[in-house]
């Protein structure tokens, strides 16, 4: 098939590479800018495991072509794949309206963008209202983006499940054919109405965010009750009604898509005349939790932070990412700056994004070497749980620091071991 993919989202890049790898002829349309410039060569803008090599391979084979976002779909196109950013709904309608009147009877528009609930149906209406269009030709289906950054390619090629929002039998069959190479172990396609698929995507992220904020509340309570939240987490996870996923307390969650989906769900509830009290509280808990390490540092030094040096390991919103969208580290850094703290930061991938966000400042120093960041520090805050941070040279850390104070925002270190090693240790609900 000839598939035209529009968007510069991670979802668009993964989808285009994966679809091309199974033999489709794919054109990826991206806007002018850094991503387009990178894709023109052999470089790749996202540090996503396995994706750079797959995209380079498909470009060399000729099955994947990169074009501008303003280029209209080729006449041979039989599938228009929309993986646009959430604010590009108007562009999606323009692309649908640009389709020629005599499209193939089974022309498919795939909406993989995270637009408001009901957008797929609105795009279907635009498809049918094109001048001269045959109302029997073409369909718009929803396949929500369920990819997780850091495991996105595997999430597409070995998806646990696909939610397909479609009303027409032939559209469902065509989607199943497109996904067949990634759907062989078992039938992972779940059919539902388009707006049900869109809403399910938001509801999933709302539930995950609720679990995270609940555990952060429990961790804060554990601090007051002299309880180790790790024991509590294991006990809760052992209950099959609850399970282990998303029960790890920490210093808050970030991420552009995740946070925006939760806010979109809360907004949808409010616009429907319903109270979004639970989700609003979830978001408020998360914002408070982003300052949890700062509050512990504040209490430890009895409110005297001016002139101190604090090291931060990890500013990306999650491991294996170079992005800092809504990352907990940003709010933490701002709180430290407000108290006159000099902040020294190390992150394996996100330092360029942090430099762009912060600008030139005397109270922010970026380090490629994690041990250089902690040299002479009054405290070390671990904010993003990169694997390289799990087992560092603790003896060297202690020797480099002015005060061996560590604040573990992800509970990756063992409190007893850290204390035996000579550190003053604070975790999130740990003892």
Digit-coded pLDDT (tens) for 13-25: 999 999 999 999 9
pLDDT surpasses 90 at 190: yes
One domain for residues 24 and 126 = yes
Sheet holding 379-382, edge to edge: 364-367, 342-346, 309-313, 379-382, 405-408, 424-426
Sheet holding 25-30, edge to edge: 64-68, 25-30, 2-6, 79-82, 108-111, 139-142, 162-165, 189-192
One domain for residues 348 and 359 = yes
Question: Does 225 fall in a domain?
Answer: yes
Question: Does 378 fall in a domain?
Answer: yes
Residue with tokens 């942090």: 354
Comparing 165 with 185, the larger pLDDT belongs to 165
Question: Does 214 fall in a domain?
Answer: yes
One domain for residues 138 and 281 = no
Question: Does 297 fall in a domain?
Answer: yes
How many other CB atoms are there within 10 angstroms of residue 161's CB atom? 12
End residue of a domain, out of 135, 161, 192: 192
Question: Residue 252, SS3?
Answer: coil
How many other CB atoms are there within 10 angstroms of residue 147's CB atom? 22
Distance CA 208, CA 205 (A): 5
Question: Does 431 fall in a domain?
Answer: no
- CATH number at 74 reads 3.40.50.720
One domain for residues 41 and 85 = yes
Query: Which pLDDT score, from 0 to 100, does residue 38 have?
Result: 78
End residue of a domain, out of 288, 319, 337: 288
Structural domain count, the chain: 3
Q: pLDDT band at residue 133, thresholds of 50, 70 and 90?
A: confident
One domain for residues 28 and 59 = yes
Q: Which backbone phi and psi does 139 adopt, to 5 degrees?
A: -155, 150
Mean pLDDT, residues 292-305 taken together: 97
Measuring CA to CA, which residue among 198, 156, 150, 149 is closest to residue 179? 156
Helix (H) or strand (E) holding 379: strand 379-382
Tens of pLDDT, residue by residue over 388-404, are 999 999 999 999 999 99
End residue of a domain, out of 192, 220, 255: 192
Question: Does 25 fall in a domain?
Answer: yes
One domain for residues 14 and 152 = yes
One domain for residues 28 and 103 = yes
Query: Which pLDDT score, from 0 to 100, does residue 223 have?
Result: 92
In sequence order, the β-bridge partners of residue 428 are: none
Question: Residue 19, SS3?
Answer: helix
One domain for residues 156 and 215 = no
Domain that holds residue 20: 2-192
Q: pLDDT band at residue 424, thresholds of 50, 70 and 90?
A: very high
Mean pLDDT, residues 210-236 taken together: 95
Mean pLDDT, residues 28-46 taken together: 78
One domain for residues 236 and 169 = no
One domain for residues 215 and 177 = no
Query: Which pLDDT score, from 0 to 100, does residue 218 have?
Result: 96
pLDDT surpasses 90 at 274: no
Query: Which pLDDT score, from 0 to 100, does residue 270 have?
Result: 64
pLDDT surpasses 90 at 39: no
Query: Which pLDDT score, from 0 to 100, does residue 46 have?
Result: 64
One domain for residues 166 and 214 = no
One domain for residues 55 and 178 = yes
pLDDT surpasses 70 at 273: no
The number of helices, as runs of H, and strands, as runs of E, in the chain is 17, 14
Whole-number average pLDDT of the chain: 92
């Amino acid at each position: 098939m000839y598939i035209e993919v529009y968007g510069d989202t991670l979802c668009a890049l993964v989808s285009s590479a994966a679809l091309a790898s199974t033999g489709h002829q794919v054109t990826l349309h991206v806007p002018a800018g850094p991503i387009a410039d990178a894709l023109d060569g052999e470089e790749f803008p996202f540090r996503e495991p396995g994706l750079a090599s797959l995209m380079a391979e498909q470009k060399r084979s000729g099955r994947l072509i990169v074009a501008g976002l303003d280029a209209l779909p080729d006449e041979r196109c039989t599938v228009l794949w929309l993986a646009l950013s959430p604010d590009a709904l108007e562009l999606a309608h323009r692309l649908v309206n640009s389709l020629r009147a005599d499209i193939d009877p089974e022309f498919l528009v795939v909406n993989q963008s995270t637009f408001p609930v009901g957008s797929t149906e609105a795009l279907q209406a635009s498809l049918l209202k094109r001048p001269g269009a045959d109302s029997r030709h073409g369909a718009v289906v929803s396949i929500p983006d369920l990819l997780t950054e850091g495991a996105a390619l595997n999430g597409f090629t070995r998806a646990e499940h696909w939610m397909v929002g479609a009303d027409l039998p032939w559209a469902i069959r065509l989607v199943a054919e497109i996904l067949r190479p990634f759907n062989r172990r078992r039938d992972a396609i779940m059919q539902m109405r388009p707006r049900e698929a869109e809403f399910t995507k938001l509801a999933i992220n709302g539930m995950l965010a609720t679990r995270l904020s609940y555990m952060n509340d429990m961790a804060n309570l554990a601090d007051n009750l002299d309880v180790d939240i790790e024991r509590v987490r294991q006990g809760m996870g052992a209950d099959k009604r609850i399970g282990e996923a998303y029960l790890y307390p920490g210093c808050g969650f970030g991420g552009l898509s995740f946070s925006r989906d939760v806010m979109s769900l809360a907004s949808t509830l409010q616009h429907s005349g319903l109270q979004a009290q639970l989700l609003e509280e979830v978001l408020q808990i998360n914002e408070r939790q982003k300052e949890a390490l700062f509050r512990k540092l504040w209490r430890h030094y009895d409110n005297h932070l001016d002139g101190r040096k604090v090291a931060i390991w990890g500013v990306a919103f999650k491991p294996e990412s170079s992005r800092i969208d809504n990352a907990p580290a940003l709010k933490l850094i701002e709180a430290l700056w407000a108290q006159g703290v000099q902040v020294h930061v190390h992150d394996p991938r996100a330092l360029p994004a942090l430099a762009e966000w912060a600008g030139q400042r005397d109270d922010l120093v970026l380090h490629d070497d994690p041990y250089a960041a902690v040299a002479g520090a009054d405290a070390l805050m671990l904010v993003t749980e990169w694997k390289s941070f799990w087992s560092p040279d603790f003896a060297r850390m202690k020797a480099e620091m002015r005060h061996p104070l560590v604040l573990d925002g992800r509970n990756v270190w063992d409190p007893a071991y850290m204390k035996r090693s000579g550190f003053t240790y604070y975790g999130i609900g740990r003892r």
